[in-house]
């Protein structure tokens, strides 16, 4: 371990931002020859910048010096405590929360940080590791508008609330066409019942095609679909699984996460050859019971599908071992499906995992 270069420590910090929800240093802080100290210092200095804005784009021409927003908030990644603006090398994550895609109606504030200053700050964050955008509302727009190319390729982590509007469609398509997304989350919390039912069972063709296009882009690491219950966990997963089995070369040589509500059909797992890892673990992030299932690819040694099914909170209060897999799937909260790609020892690690057939309900 003493031979590990300091560049590895910075690389490890980079991976913590994208793979560890708790951003724990783990064994990195114990590295020898001063590298553990470097890791601790970088971890301690790491800062997150959060920006809240009523909108992202203007539908009419506007002077950026006349529009003011709440000042940006800086906080420590580890402690969460408020901080002064850091030097740019210590800024590891930028989060922009936008109420709407467009500025609307309300009189702009005359206090705070001007839009011009905010755009300048965001522009300086181009090399920040995580650049996240959340947009809550996509109103119908009567007049035409232009999406800024630099803006739609700037963010690598995006969360959008689905609305059946042209502005949502145009914005999502532009983001996917930009091929910079590493994480994409779509939810639909405010749809009417009829629209929600359609989204659950059969989303519009353009949306299905856009989701698939995003999933197969090499740089995309995770795709999270809330409120797409039946389509995502059944139809989409079945399509991806059959494609993975028949033409594995069409999947990029990276590990991809698909997160869906509820659980895939357990009979599909049985007929496809998935095995149960057996043990039940308690998830630290959501405190939910988790059951895991694996399917090594029959021909490609580097590829394995891992499914983690997160049970309902009610299962925390009963003897979870007495719950059958079929019952567990019916009461599932959500699932994480990983199409894993590994080489060498890492590939053999996953292929040598012991599993047992998923038992049939008698």
DSSP states of 39-93 as a string?
A: HHHHHHH-EEEEEEES-SB-SS---GGG-EEPPPEEEETTT--B-PPPPGGGEEE
The pair of structure tokens assigned to 30 is 């114990």
Q: How far is 296 from 300, CA to CA, in rounded Å?
A: 8
Q: Count CB neighbours of 286 within 10 A.
A: 13
User: Which residues, listed in sequence order, are joined to residue 281 by a DSSP beta bridge?
Assistant: 290
Please provide the DSSP assignment of 287-325 as one string. --EEEEEEEE-SS-TTEEEEEEEEPPGGGGGS-GGGS-H
Output the tens digit of pLDDT for each of the chain's 362 residues.
445 465 765 676 666 676 666 667 766 667 676 777 877 887 888 899 999 998 888 776 666 667 778 899 999 987 778 888 888 888 999 999 999 998 875 555 667 888 888 888 988 999 899 999 999 999 887 555 555 667 889 999 999 999 989 999 999 999 999 999 999 999 976 665 666 666 677 889 999 999 999 999 999 999 999 878 889 999 999 999 999 999 999 999 999 999 999 999 999 999 999 999 988 888 888 889 999 999 999 999 999 999 999 998 776 666 777 889 999 999 999 999 999 999 999 999 999 999 999 998 76
Q: How far is 39 from 30, CA to CA, in rounded Å?
A: 9
Residue pair 36/43 in contact by the 8 Å Cβ criterion: no
DSSP for residue 250: G
Q: How far is 311 from 330, CA to CA, in rounded Å?
A: 9
The pair of structure tokens assigned to 329 is 């799937």
Phi, psi torsion values for 354, nearest 5 degrees:
-80, 135
Phi, psi torsion values for 94, nearest 5 degrees:
-120, 125
pLDDT score, position 83: 85
């Amino acid at each position: 371990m003493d031979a590990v270069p300091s560049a590895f420590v910075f690389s490890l910090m980079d991976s913590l931002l994208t793979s560890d929800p708790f951003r724990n240093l783990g064994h990195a802080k114990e590295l020898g020859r001063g590298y553990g100290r470097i890791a601790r210092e970088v971890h301690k200095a790491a800062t997150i910048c959060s920006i809240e804005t009523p909108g992202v784009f203007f539908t009419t021409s506007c002077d950026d010096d006349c529009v003011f927003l709440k000042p940006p908030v800086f906080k420590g990644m580890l402690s969460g405590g408020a901080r002064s603006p850091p030097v740019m090398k210590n800024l590891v994550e930028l989060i922009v929360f936008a109420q709407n895609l467009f500025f609307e109606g309300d009189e702009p504030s005359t206090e705070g940080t001007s839009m011009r200053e905010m755009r300048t700050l965001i522009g300086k964050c181009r090399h920040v590791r995580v650049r996240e955008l959340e947009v809550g509302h996509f109103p119908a727009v009567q007049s035409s508008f232009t999406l800024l190319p630099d803006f739609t390729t700037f963010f690598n982590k995006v969360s959008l609330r689905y609305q059946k509007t042209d502005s949502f469609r145009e914005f999502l398509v532009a983001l996917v066409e930009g091929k910079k997304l590493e994480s994409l989350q779509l939810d639909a919390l405010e749809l009417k019942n009829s629209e929600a039912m359609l989204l659950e069972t059969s989303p519009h063709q353009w949306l299905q095609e856009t989701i698939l296009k995003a999933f197969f882009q090499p740089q995309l690491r995770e795709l999270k679909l809330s409120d797409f219950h039946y389509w995502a966990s059944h139809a989409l997963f079945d399509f991806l699984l059959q494609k993975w089995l028949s033409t594995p070369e069409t999947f990029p040589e990276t590990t991809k996460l698909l997160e869906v509500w509820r659980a895939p059909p357990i009979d599909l797992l049985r007929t496809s050859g998935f095995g149960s890892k057996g043990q039940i673990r308690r998830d630290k992030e959501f405190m939910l019971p988790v059951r895991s299932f694996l399917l090594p690819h029959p021909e490609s040694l580097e590829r394995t599908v891992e499914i983690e099914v997160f049970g309902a909170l009610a299962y925390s209060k009963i003897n979870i071992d007495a719950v059958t897999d079929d019952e567990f799937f019916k009461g599932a909260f959500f699932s994480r499906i990983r199409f894993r790609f590994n080489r060498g020892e890492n590939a053999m690690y996953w292929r040598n995992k012991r599993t047992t057939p998923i038992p049939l309900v008698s």
